[in-house]
Structure 1
Amino acid sequence: MIKLFSNSSKEDSHIINFILNSSKFTFKRCKESELNTSKNSNNLYIVSHNTKLKEFSKILSSISKLEIKNIFYLLPLDFKEIYEQSIINKIFYPVDFLIFEEKMNSFFSEKIILNEFLFISNDNLLTNTKTKQEIYLTEIESKLITLLKNQNSISKKQINEIVLGHKAVIESKSLDTHLYRLRNKITKVSNQIKIEYDDQKNIKMTII
């Protein structure tokens, strides 16, 4: 499901209605006040055609402070000259509906690729395309795999701080529990991922 936000006026309601009724994606119409609860959701934000650039700049600033991970903008064509090279995820309208769907599919189907057959979808589903096996990970488990994938090895203290948000030096039983559960889930999907300790007692992940 994708949360749908907009600062649209009544004149733009046909755009929202068309997307809600025609897209293959499932949307939930949300109020802008709900953005602060959408940090880990998939989000589409439609910007009204009569929005001023200065106004949109304020919108971007506000949303940036919320640290929302997955948000895609549908922007008026008038914004293209200014925002075409921007790093925000966007498409400009009017736009062919098939192109819109392709862009949405590409963005919201983003994967963490582990190897030729293994990936984690953006809804934390670990999938083995060779065996057709899959299992859902928790947000923390997904973050653990992503972190280990990008590091040769990493200490328990660093994982506690980065993934679990533990700032102080604490007993890492919570981390051990997460690692145990994650290993059990992985073995149900693949024998190509190994999470273990190295000689320095740091944690590393090996993917065959």
Structure 2
Amino acid sequence: MEKEKKMKSEEINIFAENKIIFSNLENKIDKSYDSDLNFFYLKEIKGFKFKKNQLNIFFIPPNLNSTNCKNINKFLKSNKLDNIIICVDKTNNKYFAEHDILFHLPISFSELMKKVNFLKLSSNILFKNLQLNRLSRELININNKNTIVLTQIESNILSVLMRSEKKVSRELLNSNALGYSKNIDSHSLDSHIYRIRKKLLRISKENLINAIDSGFYELS
């Protein structure tokens, strides 16, 4: 049996001039946040390719000149990035004022993480022709505009499946979606997946939750 590849948790990309801010965040963010942190130099933003369902935090230093600020802002607008937290000094506020999430340094770690968690919960998850709104728990087929409403647990299960690029184990679904201990194999998972499959048929004949191998699931 093919060994399951560990599913990546939420990814947070940190863009800054140096790794000091990144190191501080890395030390403070523990496993309870279920986040993978990546560091990128701010000057490398032009060559960076953003992926779906990522959160990007930009630390704009106070000494960054107006030309660079304008170029970064132009890049952000052209890439239509929805989940951005921009941490800037007040002197550069005018270049980024149009963005919804705008902080001025200094900022407390707890305040930053509140916004991070809010964006993680409020951002939509995309998978092929499906879009899941985690706040309203609405799943929409973006091709035919048909919509269904999920329960919280159903939304959690689909969220895990939609974010994973590989098959997902029952153990992982029980832990991440249902909140059970990794050592517990709950039969209630089967009931939830059965109901999700029935709901999916209302909006799409193409997207299915497939049981593969022994104890693994995959969204197609």
| Equivalent position of 1:134 in the other structure | 157
Deviations 1:96-121 (A, max 9, x none): 2211111111123224576997356x
Question: Is the contact between residue 3 and residue 42 of structure 1 (CA under 8 Å) also seen in structure 2?
Answer: yes
Deviations 1:52-76 (A, max 9, x none): 2332111111233334343321212
2:72 counterpart (55, 59, 80): 59
Following the alignment from structure 1 to structure 2, what is the Cα–Cα distance between the partners of residues 47 and 93? 10
Question: Hey, what's the Cα distance between the residues in 2 that align with 1:116 and 1:16?
Answer: 29
Structure 2 residue 48 is matched with structure 1 residue 42: no
Q: Quote the Cα distance in structure 1 between the aligned partners of 2:108 and 2:156.
A: 36
* Counterpart amino acid of residue 71 in structure 2: K
Q: Is the 8 A contact 1:5 1:30 kept in 2?
A: yes
For residues 74 and 132 of structure 1, what CA distance do their matches in structure 2 show?
Answer: 31
The alpha-carbon distance between structure 1 residues 36 and 65, as it changes in their structure 2 partners (threshold 3 A), is farther
SS in structure 1 at match of 2:56: strand
Post-superposition offset of 1:28: 0.9
Name the SS for the 1:87 alignment partner: coil
Distance 1:101-1:191 versus aligned 2 partners, 3 A rule: same
Query: For the Cα contact (< 8 Å) 2:134–2:155, is it kept in 1?
Result: no
Give the aligned length.
142
Matches within 5 A, 1:13-92: 13-23=19-29, 24=33, 25-31=35-41, 32-33=44-45, 36-40=48-52, 41-80=54-93, 82=94, 85-92=97-104
The DSSP-based 3-state class of the residue aligned with 2:75 is: helix
Q: Which has the higher contact order (CA 8 A, sep 6+)?
A: 2
- Residue range with higher mean Cα deviation, 47-56 or 185-194: 185-194
Separation in structure 2 between the aligned mates of residue 117 and residue 66 of structure 1, nearest angstrom: 26
Does the CA-based 8 Å contact 1:39-1:69 persist in structure 2? no
Distance in 2, Cα, partners of 1:87 & 1:110: 16
Shift of 1:128: 2.8
The percent identity for this pair of structures is 13
Q: Distance in 2 between matches of 1:97 and 1:116?
A: 24
Q: 1:195 aligns with which of 197, 200, 203?
A: 203
Q: Which amino acid aligns with 1:97?
A: F
Task: Output one character per residue of 1:136-192: Cα deviation in whole Å (capped at 9) or x when no partner.
Answer: 2379xxxxxxxxxxxxxxxxxxxxxxxxxxxxxxxxxxxxxxxxxxxxx98642755
1:128 maps to a residue whose letter is T
| Partners of 1:97 and 1:39 in 2: CA distance | 25
Q: Check if 1:93 corresponds to 2:99.
A: no
Residue 12 (structure 2) aligns with? 2
Name the amino acid aligned to 1:134. Answer: I
Give the CA RMSD over aligned residues: 3.9
Which of the two has higher C-alpha Rg? 1
Letter of the structure 2 residue corresponding to residue 107 of structure 1: L
Contact in 2 for aligned 1:4/1:28 (Cα 8 Å)? yes
2:62 and 2:92 in contact (8 A); partners too:
no
Structure 1 outlier segments of 4+, above 6 Å: 113-117
What TM-score, normalized to structure 2? 0.49
Q: Is the 8 A contact 1:5 1:44 kept in 2?
A: yes
CA–CA distance in 2 between the matches of 1:115 and 1:73? 23
